[in-house]
Amino acid sequence: MNETLEIDLDQLTASHTRTKANNPPLEPPAELELTATQRIVLRCGKSSLTLYPNGKIVLRGQYILSEADDVNRIAGGRIELN
């Protein structure tokens, strides 16, 4: 049986920071860990990041930018460009 849990992070953020009478807003957690047995997908419009348990990561988007103030390293058994 495949189960999918969809969470609207806009809703989560809104409810997480909402204040009630005289209560300060809650601080977001310092760390957030998501665990799944088959895959984790983060999606926003035409962009997505998919993580698989075998170590495969798929990053999709119309424009992908990689920036680093120091070293921006690509390492792998084989690197294919175009």
Mean pLDDT of 6-16: 60
Residue 18 makes CB contacts below 8 A (sequence gap 6+) with: 25
The answer, yes or no, to whether residue 73 has pLDDT greater than 70, is yes
Encode pLDDT of 14-49 as tens digits.
Answer: 555 555 566 666 777 788 888 999 999 999 999 999
Residues in the chain: 82
Residue 56 is which amino acid? K
Supply the pLDDT for residue 41.
Answer: 94
Encode pLDDT of 44-65 as tens digits.
Answer: 999 999 999 999 999 999 999 9
Supply the pLDDT for residue 69.
Answer: 96
The answer to whether 49 touches 62, Cβ cutoff 8 Å, is no
